[in-house]
Structures are given as C-alpha cells and as structure tokens.
Structure 1
Amino acid sequence: MKLLILDSGHAEYVAGREAPDKSMREWEFNNDMQYKIKNLAEKHGITVFLTNPYPQQKDEMGLTKRAEIANGYWALKQKPPALFFSIHANAYKNEFNEARGTETYIASNASQNSKNAAKYVQESVYKMIKSIDTNAKDRGVKVADFTVIYKANMPSILAEYAFYTNKEDLKILKENRDQLAEATIQGICKYFGIEYIPTEPEKPDPPIDPDPPVEQPKLYENCVVYSGQVDENIAQILSWDLKDYVVVDLSVYKEGLGKNIYVVGAACGKLKGDYNFYGKDRWETLDMVMNYIKK
C-alpha cells in the first residue's frame, strides 16, 4: 500500500488570499487541485486520504490539527510508505507585481524521503510550467518549519505552485490545472517508485458529417407514369416508340424526371398537372397508345 495524504490549504472563510483582481481565491485552487491529484493518484493504485475534504463555507482548520489528522490516519493504516502533501498557491503583497515562480518546502526535521519527494515534485511541476511559459521561474526546494509539515510524522512537503499576485502565474493557476496535477503525480510516482502512466488526452467527438448532397434525378426527354401492374404493361407498350425515356410507378415519380410526361390509366386521376395525358382509363389509353405507335 502506498498512501498519499493531501492537505488542501485554507478554507473559504479565510480573509484575503485572493488575486488582486479577485478572479481567483487560493482555497478554491487548492481544493480543485486536491481532487485532480486524488483522481490521478488512485488511477496509479495509490491510496489517498484528505485532511480537508470540504473547505467550502468553513473557517480555517488549525495547522496542528491537520498534522494530527494525518498522523492518526497513517497510524491507523499501520504506517505504510506515505507522503503528506500540502497544496498551496503563493502571494507577495496585495497587488500584481513581478514576484513569481514555483517552490516546494520541507521542514528542518525533514527525512531523506521528504527531500526526495520535494525534489521530484518541484522538478516535474516547474518543467511543466516552463513548457507553457518560458519566463517561468524555478524557486527550488526550500526549508521552512511550516507547522503542517514540521509536525507530520511521515515524509511531508508543501508545494507553492505559483503566485496569484503575478499576472502570468495567475493565468497558469487558472487555466492549466489539469497539467499541474499531471506534473504533480509524475513526481509523486517517482517518489513511490511507481511507473507513471500518462493520461491519454480526451478524443474529440468525430465531426458530424453534413447531409449528403441530394442526388438530382436525370432529366429524360420522356417520362411515362403508371399506377398498378396492368397500367405498367400499357406504359411499357407506349415506351416502345419513345426515345430517351423512363417508365416509373406513380409512387416513386418525382417532378422533373422528363420534359414530356405521359400519365397512363389509373394514374390519370391521381397525378394532376399540365401533362401529356393519354386516355381517361387504361383501355382508352391502350387504344390511344396503339394508335400512337401505329400498331
């Protein structure tokens, strides 16, 4: 069993901690990231526990309490190989400025495993951000005794993905969270010695083929229209002396099949229009057809 304990920094009711233009609040970024990372970690067979799963509409949770929750769960699971990972975004002053970059923290009491995890995550996340913005800054792995990582009993790190008080960094924090989570899990997999499996990009829906062009019927010089088997025989007799013709049943006849339209027998009363009608019924039509072809 590999255990990843995710600690989403802050809660909704914490004052401040938002971009100068109020377009992003840190707690929302941290919370969104913890679930993206959780989903990817579980796909790699890593067990995930959240210390702060529901930060919406809540006040800040004490930092010591976060560490105690993590320690208690780790002990409950018989202290398997684990990593405590606290998720944050950074800030400098209250207005947009030039301070930017990615940094990962370990405590002064950090184990070698903590140092390894921080190195792997820092390298992977920075590489990803650098691929988006060539001016991205690598602030490296730093040491600071933040309570959550200092008091965690298992290997622990705290990531500051980028500065939401920097316009370029803020854009990445808002628009590239899937890539940030993917880069994070790469580092975590390396730490646990697990083969990283890249997430396949979603395939777009195939384009909807437009309606095929309607095939236009050939225009014949003559078209003979009938209705029923007996009339079909008469229609065929009529066609003997015609050139460039087509003989069709009334049910499939379409306007525009011929320049001259001959309507035979029973079809005479059903197809109205300015046509070359032959007879009031099939017998009169037959007589007229025989005269027409001089038989």
Structure 2
Amino acid sequence: MKVFINPGHMPGIDSGAVNGHLLLRECDIVLSLGRLLASKLESAGCTVMLLQSDNLCGEAPAFPNVCHAANNWPADIFISMHCNAYNTTVRGTEILCRKEKSQAGILAQHIRQQLSKTLHGIDSDIPDRGIKERLDLIVLNHTVMPAILIEVAFIDNDADARILVEKQNSLASAIARGITDYWCHLN
C-alpha cells in the first residue's frame, strides 16, 4: 500500500495552531508525528511519501503542491495530520472526511477505533469527537484516493498538548494500526 502523509502547515511560513503557554506549534508536532507514522508504516511493508508544504493545491507555487504530488504518485490513501485548537478547554480527537459512507469513511473508522482506544488508555478523560464530514477542505476535495484529515488532539489544551508531545510513539502506532486494519479490510 502507498500512503501519502501530509503533516499540516509549514514551519517558517504557517505554524498552524499554537500553545503559547507550552511554546508548541502545530507544524512541528505534526511533522514529528508524521515522521514516526511513516517509519512505522514502512516497517509494516507500506511505501510512504511525506510532504509538508504551504501549497495544498496550487495556491503557493513556490512550494511543492501537496494534492498534485499525492495524485501523481499515485497514493492509495491520503492522510493529513493536524492539531485542533479552540478555547483551551476543549479536548479530544476527531477525523474528517468528505463523506462518512465512503472508502475514506471506512479508513477514518479504522483509525478512529485504534486512536480512540490508545488515547483512552493514556487519559480516560479525553473524548472521542468522532468522524465528521467536511466538504470544504482542499486536501479532501482535490485528492483522487480515499483521503482523511486527523485532528489528533487540541494543541491549545495543556493536557492534550502534553499527550501530543509525550505520547507521539503511541499515537503514531495507533494511526498505523488503523491504516493497516483498513488495508486488511480491503484484501
């Protein structure tokens, strides 16, 4: 299986969400998490391409085009990784896809099961915010393979942020298990 990993945002250009209290940037967290995920998937026999760029679909031509790269490779699945932010009190994980009743929705469900189970084992208070349909996201609209966007946790919530920093190996393992579960489901 060919897995395209897109850690969201881009250091030096767009940091994404931040936790000013803990001095954390979304772009750094998801790049580190994406690299761990890539390593785990490669160990499981997957071929992986990882691209973090401020050009999702042609809007910043100075940087590599994420959707174009994924489509032309071509990837079997597309995983965009992000950290959520809201008001410092909201917590949890959620996965976004265009349509829940689709291959992307099935992929999201497999990852959700593994990630939710892992997070609950780390902190029983962290909520599973579910799978949400989003029709307005570039990476979900301009990719030709099943594509999802994982909001791993809320970076602006200190408890979630600590998990994002201290439990990256567990998070990457859970996401990798969800991806391989999906692949087994197909075959």
Normalised to the residue count of structure 2, the TM-score between the two structures is 0.88
Q: 2:108 aligned with 1:118, yes or no?
A: yes
Query: Which position in structure 2 is the counterpart of 1:129?
Result: 119
Per the alignment, residue 227 of structure 1 pairs with none
Matches within 5 A, 1:67-86: 67-74=67-74, 82-86=76-80
For residues 65-117 of structure 1, give each alpha carbon's deviation from its aligned partner in whole angstroms, at most 9, with x where no partner exists: 3111111110xxxx7xx110001111114xxx221100000014x77211111
Aligned position for 1:104: 95
CA contact (8 A) 1:101 1:161 kept: yes
Write the letter of the residue equivalent to 2:86: Y
Which structure 1 segments of 5+ residues have no match? 53-59, 195-295
1:91 corresponds to: 85
Give the TM-score normalised by structure 1.
0.57
**Displacement, 1:22?**
4.3
Across the aligned residues of Structure 1 and Structure 2, the Cα RMSD in angstroms comes to: 1.7
The AA in structure 2 aligned to 1:4 is: V
Distance 1:23 1:191 in 2: 35
Distance 2:112 2:144 in 1: 21
Q: Which has the larger radius of gyration?
A: 1
Partner of 2:62: none
Structure 2 segments unaligned to the other structure (5+ residues): 58-64
What is the identity, as a one-letter code, of the residue corresponding to 1:181?
A
CA displacement at 1:62 relative to structure 2? 2.0
Residue 252 of structure 1 is matched in structure 2 by: none
What SS does the corresponding residue of 2:18 show, helix, strand or coil?
A: coil
The answer to whether the aligner puts 1:156 opposite 2:150 as a matched pair is no
Q: 1:167 to 1:22 in 2, by over 3 A?
A: closer
In the alignment, the residues of structure 1 paired with residue 144 and residue 18 of structure 2 have an alpha-carbon distance, to the nearest angstrom, of 31
Structure 2 residue identity aligned to 1:83: I
Q: Residues of 1 paired with 2:140 and 2:101: CA distance?
A: 11
Identity among equivalent positions (%) equals: 28
Aligned residue in 1 for 2:9: 10
Aligned residue identity for 1:6: I
Map of 1:62 onto structure 2: 55
| CA distance in structure 2 between the partners assigned to 1:111 and 1:152 by the alignment | 17
Mapping 1:136-147, distance limit 5 Å: 136-145=126-135, 146-147=137-138
The answer to whether residue 162 in structure 2 is matched with residue 171 in structure 1 is: yes
Is the CA contact 2:97–2:149 (under 8 Å) kept in the aligned structure 1? yes
Q: Which has the higher contact order (CA 8 A, sep 6+)?
A: 2
- Does structure 1 retain, via aligned residues, the 8 Å contact 2:91–2:160? yes
Cα deviation for residue 149 of structure 1 reads: 1.4
Which residue number in structure 1 is paired with residue 50 of structure 2?
50
Q: Counterpart of 2:41?
A: 41
Counterpart of 2:69 in 1: which secondary structure? helix
- Tell me, yes or no, if the aligned pair for 2:110 and 2:182 is still in contact at 8 Å: yes
CA offset at residue 123 of structure 1?
A: 1.4
